[in-house]
């Protein structure tokens, strides 16, 4: 997402990692859920929760490009 200033300052990009963490966490959770619990829904829910928390923490810290 690109934001431009009205005063002619440099524009900067802001990345949001919570959504990506949610998607990647759910996918990885599905794999581990099938291997460990033999339950796709349980693994997906656990993975999505963990991925969302990790992505939100990265967002709160200012992203990975600091």
Residue ranges per structural domain of the chain: 17-59
**Which residues, in sequence order, are CB contacts of 62 under 8 Å at separation 6+?**
none
- The beta-strand segments (E) located in the chain are 2-3, 12-13
Contact 12, 3 (CB under 8 A): yes
Q: Which helix (H) or strand (E) holds 23?
A: helix 18-32
Q: To which residue do tokens 């928390």 refer?
A: 53
Overall average pLDDT of the 21-36 stretch: 93
pLDDT for 5-24, tens place per residue? 555 555 556 678 888 999 99
The reply to whether the predicted model has a pTM over 0.85 is no
């Amino acid at each position: 997402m690109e934001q431009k200033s009205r005063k002619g300052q440099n524009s900067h990009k802001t990345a949001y990692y919570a959504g990506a963490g949610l998607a990647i966490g759910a996918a990885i959770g599905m794999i581990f859920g099938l291997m460990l619990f033999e339950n796709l829904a349980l693994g997906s829910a656990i993975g999505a929760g963990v991925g969302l928390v990790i992505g939100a923490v990265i967002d709160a810290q200012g992203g990975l490009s600091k």
